Amino acid sequence: MESQIKSTKVNEQDEKCCVVPDIEKLLERDSYLKPHEKEIRRRYARFEKLKNEICHCEGGIDKFTSAYKSFGIHINKDNSVSCKEWAPGARQLYLYGDFNGWEKKRNPYEKLDYGKWQLNLPANPDGTCPIQHGSKIKVVVETEDGALLDRLSPWAAYVVQPPLDEGCAYQQVVWNPQQKYEFKHSRPKRPNSLRIYECHVGIATAEEKVGSYKEFRENVIPRIVKLGYNALQLMAIMEHAYYGSFGYQVTSFYAASSRYGNPEELKELVDAAHSHGLIVLLDVVHSHASKNVLDGLNQFDGTDSCFFHGGARGVHELWDSRLFNYQNWEVLRFLLSNLRWYMEEYQFDGFRFDGISSMLYHHHGIGQGFSGDYNEYFGLNTDTDAVCYLMMANNMLHDFYPDVITIAEDVSGMPALCRPVSEGGGGFDYRLGMAIPDKWIQLLKEYKDEDWSIGNLVHTLTNRRWMEKTIAYAESHDQALVGDKTIAFWMMDKEMYTNMSVLSESSPVIDRGMALHKMIRLITHALGGEGYLNFIGNEFGHPEWLDFPRVGNKESFHYARRQWNLVDNPLLKYRYLNDFDAAMNHLEEQYGWLQKDPAHVSTKHEGDKVVSFDRAGLLFVFNFNSTQSFTDYRIAVPTAGKYRIVLDSDDKKFGGHGRLDHNTDFFSLEEPFGGRPHSLMVYAPCRTCFVLARID
């Protein structure tokens, strides 16, 4: 029988004296953390205590985080069936389905200690399994008042939407095919420069339907490789009953969404990505869960709590969803094992953790701004249980999978979130630079081009914590949703329907939009962080917004797809943006600026609207001026030598006007400028960006 943690009172003296070996590095790097040293040490002590208790009571972290091997419903090698659940509020559990003629009380579970239940079904007399592959099953929960409630196992590995005549609640299907997919390719090595293609399988088709894993594997992965991205981030994989939730109202945490295909097809997709050298990240939602009862975790054992906090603390008012109780032993087992499940079963390479800000604070970010005052991060509003869970998750993942990548979606900017757990940090590898896309949308919506504050823009792009890596992006799925617009659509709007032909003259609107689209992406890529992210289709300026089928749009798929026909048509200008995106990524692959120190910004001229900086030995020049070009414009140079243009947004092959001569060599001058020992003179056309590289 498994051991169970006993409730113990934390030894305050031990906690106070706990020493984190590398915490001094954290304090030396950021002296503003010094007043909060006690709290940082206390958090680490909580983590260390939990880790030790798991090892002592559960036989190690590996066993504890591999609970998916015993919990749920499993068909054994001898064709017997083993079932195990945690339902502390239940009076009795039963299993029923196709295998027993849907008799609810025919197969009762045996009650174990600590709210656990188990059931073992022997093989049939002829040696066959009593529950066949493809069988439909459900767990019946008998409550203390005698009610019988139909539930899906929280550990269900495959659930499907029923036919219309069988109700609306998802059905659990036993998945045990004779031919399981076998991975042929090992995980690629973790890249030093992370270029992420964020995508959604369902919308990745031009047809007005839900796309499939197979279609994505065959049609989209080759595009991603050609564009020069080295990481694929899959959204909406964890099963969600409501398609329009974008996958953020998860109902079955262990089930890969069946609306795109079956589990073997997802495995084949991941393996295909690996064959091209792409790492695959899963957008994981451990910040909350759907309130659905019949096909979700909510009220699984018939009570208000179980996996969640009871009462008001267990409800996210803004998202109308349930909030996990990260202090609960079995919740930790469930969530940590969920991460292991996707790493082991599907061979994912890491995770983007959604909604971290909601987890980190008791207020969940509702009605709360963050000014940067460190007291906001280390005060009583911080949820230490959630912080401890994230530390445990990151520590476990990095211990078992050294090349794993974890990314935090945190709008608050919590200090040390992206430093190792051994320093008292959160353990994440990257955080999303969420202020950057907001800044671009603000500039496009609220200001004329001539009123852009160059200094404020540069500050937004460079304002990140030292030695805590940031993923920069100009727009993600958030900016594409209905009610907002993509950057391309904000700039070009209705003229995208009539003036994108290469056979006609560019209108001022299209000319501006094409130019700024390229400039916005390159300056974000080169200046904004240590990684870069693009949302599917935005690389070629996908028009319109993203709107899933719903009652309000008459269940239409018109806006829940990607119009690849636009970029594939050689007579349309979308291909120019697509080609520039690819050139930008391939240049980064060659010079690796994302893995180098942050850029040195030497020019941010408000009047001229010019920005210049150097990074990884490259010189970047941006002239955001809408009308004025500059000849003999001085830019700073860190290393003397001869330079040549290696990327130019105004190049005709990218839909530009071809105003720069690519055969011109630029020679550095022994004249210091902008904090660098050398300088050179360039021609900077209006609304153009270009990159210079030193040639020997």
Q: DSSP assignment of 450-508, as one string?
A: GG--HHHHHHHHH---TTS-EEE-S--GGGTBBTB--HHHHHHGGGGGTS-BTTSPPPH
Helix, strand, coil percent values for the chain (each to nearest 5) = 35, 20, 45
Per-residue model confidence (pLDDT) at position 6: 33
Run of H or E including 408: strand 405-408
Out of 268, 330, 354, 650, the active site residue is 354
Per-residue model confidence (pLDDT) at position 20: 46
What is the distance between the alpha carbons of residues 257 and 204, in angstroms, rounded to a whole number? Answer: 15
Q: How far from 138 is each of 173, 342, 376, CA to CA, in Å? A: 9, 23, 45
Per-residue model confidence (pLDDT) at position 166: 81
Q: Supply angle C-alpha 486, 463, 485, rounded to 5.
A: 10
**Residue 147 resides in a domain:** yes
Per-residue model confidence (pLDDT) at position 505: 87
Give the relative orientation of helices 435-446 and 508-527 as an angle to the nearest 10 degrees.
160
Per-residue model confidence (pLDDT) at position 12: 40
**Residue 404 resides in a domain:** no
Ordered DSSP codes for 55-97: HHHHS-HHHHTTGGGTSEEEE-TTS-EEEEEE-TT-SEEEEEE
Q: How many domains does the chain have?
A: 1
- In 98-208, DSSP assigns E strands to 110-111, 116-121, 136-142, 148-151, 159-160, 171-173, 194-200
Q: What is the pLDDT of residues 241-275, one digit of tens each?
A: 999 999 999 999 999 999 999 999 999 999 999 99
Ramachandran sector of residue 236 (left: φ over 0; alpha: ψ -120 to 50; beta: rest): left
Per-residue model confidence (pLDDT) at position 17: 37
**Residue 670 resides in a domain:** no
Q: Which two tokens stand for residue 642?
A: 């001869």
Per-residue model confidence (pLDDT) at position 544: 86
Pairing of strands 618-623, 688-695: antiparallel
Q: What is the pLDDT of residues 510-556, one digit of tens each?
A: 999 999 999 999 999 999 999 999 999 999 999 988 999 998 899 99
**Residue 127 resides in a domain:** yes
Q: Which two tokens stand for residue 519?
A: 């400039």
**Residue 635 resides in a domain:** no
Q: Is 354 a catalytic residue?
A: yes
**Residue 661 resides in a domain:** no
**Residue 103 resides in a domain:** yes
Query: pTM for this one?
Result: 0.95
Helix (H, G, I), strand (E, B) or coil at 338: helix
Q: What is the pLDDT of residues 129-142, one digit of tens each?
A: 999 999 999 999 99
Half-sphere exposure of 275 (CA within 13 A, CB side): 12
Out of 85, 142, 409, 423, the active site residue is 409
The answer for residues whose C-beta is within 8 angstroms of residue 474's C-beta and 6 or more apart is 436, 437, 440, 487, 520, 521, 524, 534, 538
Per-residue model confidence (pLDDT) at position 482: 67
Residue 206: DSSP 8-state: S
* Residues lower than pLDDT 70 in the chain: 1-21, 482-483
**Residue 451 resides in a domain:** no
CATH code, domain with 138: 2.60.40.10
Range of the domain at 135: 82-173
Give the relative orientation of helices 454-462 and 508-527 as an angle to the nearest 10 degrees.
40
The answer for residues whose C-beta is within 8 angstroms of residue 675's C-beta and 6 or more apart is 600, 602, 636
Q: How far from 428 is each of 263, 416, 417, 597, CA to CA, in Å? A: 28, 9, 6, 19
